[in-house]
Structure formats: structure tokens, C-alpha cells
Amino acid sequence: MRSAQVYRWQIPMDAGVVLRDRRLKTRDGLFVHLQMADREGWGEIAPLPGFSRESRDDAEAALRAWSLAWRDGGEPLLPGLPSVDFGISCALAELEGTLPQEADYRAAPLCTGDPDELFAVLAAMPGEKVAKIKVGLYEAVRDGMVANLLLEAIPDLRLRLDANRAWTPLKAQQFAKYVNPAYRERIAFLEEPCKTRADSLAFARETGIAIAWDESLREDDFRFVAEPGVRAVVIKPTLTGSIAKVREQVNAAQAQGLTAVISSSIESSLGLTQLARIAAWLTPDTVPGLDTLNLMQAQLLRTWPGNTLPHLGPEALEPLL
């Protein structure tokens, strides 16, 4: 006997969360819950506005159709929408016991504004000190000064930076000018500095600051190849697709000597804890980019160890089937 349920949910976000120039007031998504005999599995389907190609309505229609077909005993193909394929593959993997329980709950602390806050967090961080800062939101010169200040003040810090393609080559140069060349090696990577890949590659060559691809992975002509100055790829499973596809991408990156970083698409705590398991399994040597739970006002179903946000149970879910 199989049963399948699809749920809708909505979580209020912290007041200041801005994504691609728009304020994200709520995070809206779906869960799928599959049961067979005494086994069960959950998966999260939450297209990220401004990043996912599919809308939430598209995702819901595809998820409903797949779930009904599976419940009726079929082995339907994954629908081919990345967020839906990711969520269904997680639910199936839990059901089949193929997603290991062990998780990597280290998260590179994410700092969008005040570097002072980051000082406190890093001072209390055991082991490898790695943090991520959003750049490109203010003046490039200010970003350069902040990065330089942090690298100077915390000698064992490695920084990940993310410009989300905000800079012209000139602005990227203005940023680099303020980062002491002696510290540049401790920029683990700067995600997508410029609008085009060619400009980003030129930036890496000219400044010695390593870059990482994130947005580029969703472009049709993107290939996993080693190029001078490229150190890492950021893999966001909700934007990628099934666990199998995520695994293929991790392998393709590692085969080229690139670091693969499993990263959040601002999933709820359910999806994030599954990403922490995927990271422990597929990229055990790399701190994942999963510090996004505190952008929300609540956790859903499963909790992230040590997180103090309120926890909402099944009563917060709206069943759709």
C-alpha cells in the first residue's frame, strides 16, 4: 500500500531579506510525503523567486500529477522541473533509505550587512573559520575595505564572497584595489563578480582573486572545466534537480579539480537539514553554504541542531490531495 500527500506552506521572512532587487516577505513552498508499508520519506519543493525558472504553480501541478501516479502504483518519471525533481528524489531516497542520516551542520556564516556581527560569530566558531559576505549591494570600494578589514583582523579567516554578477569590470577592479594582495589568497572564492563569464575570468586573471560559478551553472552552454582562476562551483540542489543530477555535477566538478559547495536556495529547515545530509555524503571535505535558516521566522517539521527559532509542526501545513 502506498500513500502520497502534498502540502503547501508559507513562512514569514525576516524583514530585510532582499533577493534580486525584490523584498522576499514570505517563503512559499510545498512538501511531498510518501509512505509505503512502514517506511516514509519527505521532500521539499520550493522554487526560489528570481532564481528558479519554474513558478510555484507549475511546480504544484507537476508535483500533484507525479504524486497521484506514484500513489496508484506507477513508477512515474521525474517531471523535469529542478525544484520538483529535487524534492521528489529526496522523499524517494528517504523512503528507500539511500540518503545517509549523518549531516554536516557546519555552515559558513552569511553576512549581508554589518561586519561587527561577523566578528562575534567568528570569534565563537570552532575549527576552520570560513564566512560568506554578500558584496555588490553597496559601493565596491566599501566592499573591498570590509573584506580587507576582516582578513586583516582575523588571520585564520577564509572568506567566501558573492557579487551575484553585480559589477562592471571597473567596479570589480575598484573592489580588488582595496584588498591587500597579501590577503587575496584567503578569499576562498568570489562568486560571479561580473555580468559575463568572460569578464569574471579576466577579473580572476588580473587580480589573483579566485572565483566561483553559481548563476553560470544554469546557463545552457555551461561546462564543468578547469580554467585559470576558477576554484569552485556552488551547487544549489533546488535549482539543479534530482539528487542523481546533483551527484553528477559534484563528480564533474571534482574530476576537474574544482571544489563543489552544496548551497541553500533558502529552503525551510526540512530542506536545509536534507541539504546538510547531502553535503556530508557528497562533499564531506567542504563546508556547505547553508546559513540561511535565520533569514526566516520559523522552522518547519524538522529542526536544525542548536537553532532557537520557533518550530512549527504539521498543523502549519495545508494538505492538497
Ligand X SMILES: O=C(O)CCC(=O)C1=CC=C[C@@H](O)[C@@H]1C(=O)O
The piece of 5-13, 39-47, 56-64, 261-269 that touches ligand X (CB under 6 A) is: 261-269
User: Would you state the cell numbers that stand for residue 29, as one nine-digit string?
Assistant: 513552498
Comparing CB distances to Mg ion, the nearer of 62 and 147 is 147
Q: Which residues are annotated as a binding site for Mg(2+)?
A: 162, 191, 214
Of residues 129, 132, 134, 171, which has the active-site annotation? 134
State the Cα–Cα distance between residues 60 and 65, nearest whole angstrom. 9
Mask of contacts with Mg ion, 121-140, x by CB under 5 A?
A: --------------------
Contact with ligand X (CB under 6 A) among 289, 299, 301, 304: 289
Of residues 129, 132, 171, 236, which has the active-site annotation? 236
**Residue 265 near ligand X by CB under 6 A:** yes
Q: Which of residues 115-134 bind ligand X (CB under 6 A)?
A: 132
Comparing CB distances to ligand X, the nearer of 33 and 134 is 134
Where does the chain show beta strands of DSSP type E? 2-12, 18-19, 22-23, 26-36, 39-45, 110-111, 129-134, 157-162, 187-191, 211-213, 230-235, 259-262, 299-300, 311-312, 318-319
Give min distance, CB of 199 to ligand X, in A: 18
Catalytic residue flag (residue 134): yes
Longest CA span, the chain: 64
Three-class DSSP category at 134: strand
Give min distance, CB of 234 to Mg ion, in A: 5
Cα angle 246-215-257, degrees, rounded to a multiple of 5: 55
Nearest residue (beta carbon) to Mg ion: 214
**Residue 108 near ligand X by CB under 6 A:** yes
Comparing CB distances to ligand X, the nearer of 22 and 177 is 22
Residues 302/306/309/310 CA torsion (nearest 10 deg): 60
Catalytic residue flag (residue 171): no
Three-class DSSP category at 291: coil
- Given ligand X, Mg ion, none, residue 264, with its beta carbon under 5 to 8 Å by kind, binds ligand X
User: Would you state the cell numbers that stand for residue 304, as one nine-digit string?
Assistant: 536544525
Three-class DSSP category at 286: coil
Give min distance, CB of 108 to Mg ion, in A: 12
State the Cα–Cα distance between residues 105 and 273, nearest whole angstrom. 8
Q: Which of residues 210-229 bind Mg ion (CB under 5 A)?
A: 214
Comparing CB distances to ligand X, the nearer of 67 and 216 is 216
Give min distance, CB of 98 to ligand X, in A: 25
**Residue 292 near ligand X by CB under 6 A:** yes
Which phi and psi (to 5°) does residue 73 adopt?
Answer: 100, 0
Comparing CB distances to ligand X, the nearer of 60 and 214 is 214
The amino acid at residue 212 is: A
**Residue 162 near Mg ion by CB under 5 A:** yes
User: Would you state the cell numbers that stand for residue 112, as one nine-digit string?
Assistant: 549581508
The DSSP line for 28-59 is EEEEEEEEETTEEEEEEE-PPTTT-SS-HHHH
**Residue 60 near Mg ion by CB under 5 A:** no
Instruction: Give the footprint of ligand X on this chain (CB under 6 A).
Output: 19, 51, 108, 110, 132, 162, 164, 214, 234, 263-266, 289, 291-292
Instruction: Give the footprint of Mg ion on this chain (CB under 5 A).
Output: 162, 191, 214
